[in-house]
Amino acid sequence: MWLVRPAQSDDLDQILNIAGAQGARLSSTLPRQKEALAQKIEHSLASCAGRSSGDEPPRFLFVLEDTDTGVLAGTAGIDARAGNGQPFYNYRQDALIHASHKLGISRHVDVLYPSHFLTDHTLLCSYAIKPELRGSDASELLSRARMLFIAEHRKWFTHRIVVEIQGVQTSNGEVPFWDSLGRHFFNMDFETADQYSGMLSKTFIAELMPPNPVYVTLLSQAAQDALGQPHSLTISNFKLLQREGFQTGCYLDIFDAGPVLEARTDSLRTIATSHRKTLHGTHEVSGDLCLVAAGEGAGFRCTLTGIAESVEGQLKVPVKAWKVLGKSAGDSVRAASL
């Protein structure tokens, strides 16, 4: 069975494998360096135990595990406060009208403004899954298990939630937006900058990023075309998040101009429609496939199983799934349809 649970210290090597197999973009939230990753897992465990301090807001890292083999197939994270106590950078795409009454001319001018507005919004991040599982039920489980975690621990998270989608990158690794803008100021290739943003404090972004607004019309055509466009590999996840209730707004990633999706936390489909039910057993594996989650903090588990629901609000879940969830009859669980 597929299981999503908080990452443990001994998951380190497997997570490194997953991170290494991904495209460049992921490294900003899922470091490829052993020490940095170990720290991230530590921090996640501390956050699950409610031990994270004020200047280091909670960050959570989950893994997708095949319980039959113990092999990990993906990761997903939540940063309770985007920026983690530091500024969180985006570009806001906005417009100015340049008009002259005298000359009878009015022009719509697109401008990218550096913005910190999304700082301290809850951020979904670190989403990585083995390529063969993209678009599968397991990938949906991995992404949406986070919403169930938020529903169970609502007070840890804010009212607004955002997620950055990877932007356009060509097959030979070039990022048109970066090449047209960031490269001039950071004097490094996209991958290096992206890794730094995962490893180092974000101060370097403040130091190197152009402080003034940028006129869209001065970007290369390829960069203009890439504004707000998701990477082709992220389309299935992008659509999943849109079904979940996320919408594209005016915010873009500062490195690759990928879209930033925004939503009200309480309006997310999984959070709004999931309910707590009492766990009951069944030996048949039947009924609709659902996400079922249980447990608090480090004990959080979420799996995908067929369930049957009784009129009294009892949830009949196959016993095999009980074990995966670590729960037994009479315990409270949260379910959401796939």
Partner 1 sequence: MLVIRPVQEADLEDLFAMAQSAGKGLTSLPADRDLLRRKIEQARETFEQRCAPEAGLYLFALEDTEKKKAVGISGIQGRVGLDEVFYNYRLSVTVNASKELGVHVRTPTLHLSNDMTDTSEICSLLLSDDYRGGGNGLLLSRCRFMYLGEFRKYFSEKIFAEMRGVSDEDGYSPLWDALGRKFFDMEFSQADLLSGLGNKSFIAELMPKYPIYLPMLPESARSVVSQVHENTAPALTMLQAEGFNFNGLVDIFDGGPVIEAFVHNIRTVRESVNRHTMITQKPVNLDIPASERVMISNCSFRDFRLTTIPADCVGLDTVSLPAAVAEALQIDAGDSVRLAPLKDKGPLSMYKKREAEPRF
- Binding positions for partner 1, rule: CB under 8 A: 98-100, 102-103, 105, 107, 109, 111, 180-181, 184-188, 196, 200-201, 203-204, 207-215, 217-219
In whole angstroms, how close is the CB of 207 to partner 1 at the nearest point? 4
Nearer to partner 1, 143 or 197 (CB): 197
In whole angstroms, how close is the CB of 186 to partner 1 at the nearest point? 7
- What are the Cα distances from residue 155, in Å, to 95, 103, 149, 315? 36, 56, 11, 26
What is the DSSP code string of 183-245? HHHH-S-HHHHHHHHHHS-THHHHHHS-SS-EEGGGS-HHHHHHTTPBPGGGHHHHHHHHHHT
Instruction: Answer yes or no: are the C-beta atoms of 148 and 303 closer than 8 Å.
Output: no
CA distance 263 to 43: 26
DSSP summary character for residue 166? P
Query: Has 101 been annotated as catalytic?
Result: no
Nearer to partner 1, 71 or 218 (CB): 218
CA distance 52 to 146: 19
Nearer to partner 1, 116 or 276 (CB): 116
Helix, strand, coil % over all residues of the chain, rounded to 5:
35, 30, 30
Q: Minimal CA–CA distance to 29: which of 110, 130, 125?
A: 125
Nearer to partner 1, 117 or 204 (CB): 204
Nearer to partner 1, 183 or 269 (CB): 183
In whole angstroms, how close is the CB of 232 to partner 1 at the nearest point? 27
Pick the catalytic residue from 121, 153, 231, 280.
Answer: 231
For residue 92, what is the enclosing H or E element?
A: strand 90-100
In whole angstroms, how close is the CB of 79 to partner 1 at the nearest point? 22
Instruction: Answer yes or no: are the C-beta atoms of 280 and 316 closer than 8 Å.
Output: yes
List the end-to-end C-alpha distance of the chain, in Å, as a whole number. Answer: 15
In whole angstroms, how close is the CB of 229 to partner 1 at the nearest point? 20
- What are the Cα distances from residue 259, in Å, to 30, 42, 164, 277? 19, 30, 6, 36
In whole angstroms, how close is the CB of 178 to partner 1 at the nearest point? 13
Nearer to partner 1, 220 or 267 (CB): 220
Tokens of 301: 């588990």
Rg (CA), the chain: 21
Nearer to partner 1, 102 or 283 (CB): 102
Instruction: Answer yes or no: are the C-beta atoms of 80 and 59 closer than 8 Å.
Output: yes
In whole angstroms, how close is the CB of 195 to partner 1 at the nearest point? 11
To which residue do tokens 């669980």 refer?
Answer: 333
To which residue do tokens 């030996």 refer?
Answer: 283
**Residues carrying an active site annotation:** 231
